Amino acid sequence: MMVAGIVLLICGGVSLLYGLIQNSSLQAQLMSALGSGTLNPGTPFMVVGAIAAAVGIVLMVLASRKKKAASGQLPPNSTQQ
């Protein structure tokens, strides 16, 4: 679960940055200013990237808590809050 979280976090971050770069291009700004009514080209990458990064962080936290609970560092009831 930890590896999947790290992969999602990295891929989400790359997708988010790619979307930001696409939205800041001159062509995207001109199309938005001319009011074509279309979605900016980087917006889907930004949304998917943010969601993937958030899921990756959640997976990493859950894996860390599960590992600590298995090693006895956390009481068994602390994972049910």
pLDDT band of 78, cuts 50, 70, 90: low
Cα(first)–Cα(last) distance of the chain, in Å? 20
Among 40, 41, 55, smallest CA distance to 7 is for 55
> How far apart are alpha carbons 7 and 62 in whole angstroms?
15
pLDDT digits (tens, 9 = 90+) for 19-71: 888 888 777 767 666 766 566 778 889 899 999 999 999 999 999 988 888 88
Helices (H), 24-81: 26-33, 43-70
What is the model's pLDDT at position 69?
82
How many CB atoms within 10 Å of residue 32?
14
